[in-house]
Amino acid sequence: MSHSFETFCADCRSALKADPGPAGHDRVRRNLEALLKDPDFLAAHCGSGAKPGIRTIYKDEETGFNVLVHIYEKGKSGPPHDHGASWAVYGQAAGWTDMTLWKRLDSSNDDARAELKKDRTFRLEPGMAGTFEIGQIHSIHFPDGAQFVRVTGTDLDAIPTRRFDPEKQTAAVGSRL
């Protein structure tokens, strides 16, 4: 681990121990924006030799947060989804990502049915990061060559998350949808 990445992980751990809620998540976001300005970190994890795909580069034993790197050759538009009982911070390393926030209009008591409405869309450019709180529904769209770093409150493969289809007004519950 590089010094700046070690510092990033230690600062995130301290932030989450001091406040495991939205204020701590915002400190993680600010820490990630600082990390994304480090050319050594970017070269090591997002440089020209980085293999496409998603890989976990750190799991914090004390607080449970995970740091993942996403490298994409081809662009993608993902469906609306949440991260279940976890929060997430997305930080753009290369390219851009359009983030769309969705509002759930129904009672949210039904795991199979969901009525959603687009709330707003914003773009993450390199060096920018955005926070998504527990249960917040969002979708992503990015072009070929996009790269981002995502910090999650826990291992998302180990918890149920939801994926939504706004046209069919359906929701599917599972892990790693």
Q: What is the CATH number of the domain that holds 164?
A: 2.60.120.10
State residue 121's pLDDT score: 98
* pLDDT band at residue 47 under the 50/70/90 scheme: confident
Nearest to 65 by CA among 118, 27, 112: 27
Nearest-Å Rg of the Cα atoms of the chain is 16
pLDDT digits (tens, 9 = 90+) for 61-106: 999 999 999 999 999 999 999 999 999 999 999 999 999 999 999 8
What is the reported pLDDT for 177?
40
Per-residue pLDDT at 32 exceeds 80: yes
* Tally of structural domains, the chain: 1
Between these two residues, 173 and 78, which has the higher pLDDT value? 78
Domain extent for 39 = 3-174
Lowest mean pLDDT among 4-13, 46-55, 143-152: 46-55
Q: What is the pTM of this model?
A: 0.92
What are the angstrom distances between the C-alpha of 174 and each of 18, 44, 59, 102, 177?
Answer: 31, 33, 22, 19, 6
pLDDT at position 105: 93
Q: What is the pLDDT of residue 108?
A: 74
pLDDT over 70 (residue 20): yes
Rounded-to-integer distance, Cα 111 and Cα 169, Å? 11
Rounded Cα gap, residues 17 and 41, in angstroms: 24
> What pLDDT is stored for residue 97 in this prediction?
98
- Would you call 19 helix, strand, or coil by DSSP? coil
In percent, how much of the chain has pLDDT > 90? 88
What mean pLDDT is reported for the chain? 93
Q: Which residues contact 57 (CB under 8 A, 6 or more apart)?
A: 5, 45, 67, 68, 69
Per-residue pLDDT averaged across 129-133, rounded?
A: 97
Confidence of residue 31 (pLDDT cuts 50, 70, 90): very high
> Which amino acid, residue 168?
K
For residue 175, pLDDT over 60 is answered with no
